[in-house]
């Protein structure tokens, strides 16, 4: 799916009780744990913690400034990790915070960051069977640009 960045994306509107924070050494384990939880609920992939963390130092696609984290009173509750190539790699909202607007707010934050970087669009991949994610991406103004058949396992 793709979201063109003209017109400008909406501002991120954060629900009450949450706050965006930077990815840090303190919250990185919880962020990775949430990414792993996301694999169970909707797909996506995240390597083991050490590999994931090391990639921020060694992989040019990884940039801490493009890993947007949200916390609530219980800790890390949502994350969207993007690649420098204007690609949304993973978006996960903890089940305790579903249907509160965090996913849309994170997408708008990512769209704005890429627009500030001079990108014309942002892409992502989503499984056809992940209806909740597809609806969210459609609400965020993303459009289907290409579909692939799954290869048999």
List pLDDT tens digits, range 59-94: 999 999 999 999 999 999 999 999 999 999 999 999
Q: Which domains does the chain have, with CATH numbers?
A: 2-139 (3.40.630.30)
What's the whole-model pTM score? Answer: 0.91
> Taking 60 as the threshold, does the pLDDT of residue 151 lie above it?
no
> Taking 80 as the threshold, does the pLDDT of residue 54 lie above it?
yes
**Model confidence band, residue 45 (pLDDT cutoffs 50, 70, 90):** confident
Q: Could you give phi then psi for residue 30, rounded to 5 degrees?
A: -70, -35
Q: Are 2 and 121 in contact (CB under 8 A)?
A: yes
pLDDT at 148 (0 to 100): 65
Q: How close are the terminal C-alpha atoms of the chain, in Å?
A: 24
């Amino acid at each position: 799916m793709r979201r063109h960045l003209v017109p400008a994306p909406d501002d991120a509107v954060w629900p009450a009780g949450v706050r965006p924070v930077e990815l840090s050494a303190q919250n990185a384990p919880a962020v990775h744990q949430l990414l792993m939880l996301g694999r169970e609920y909707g797909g996506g992939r995240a390597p083991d913690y050490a590999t994931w963390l090391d990639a921020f130092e060694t992989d040019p696609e990884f940039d801490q400034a493009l890993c947007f984290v949200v916390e609530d009173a219980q800790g890390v509750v949502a994350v969207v990790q993007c690649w420098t190539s204007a690609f949304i790699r993973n978006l996960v909202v903890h089940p305790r915070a579903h249907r509160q607007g965090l996913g849309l707010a994170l997408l708008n934050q990512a769209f704005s960051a890429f627009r500030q970087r001079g990108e014309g669009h942002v892409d992502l991949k989503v499984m056809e069977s992940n209806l909740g994610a597809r609806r969210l991406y459609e609400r965020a103004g993303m459009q289907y640009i290409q579909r692939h058949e799954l290869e048999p396992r």
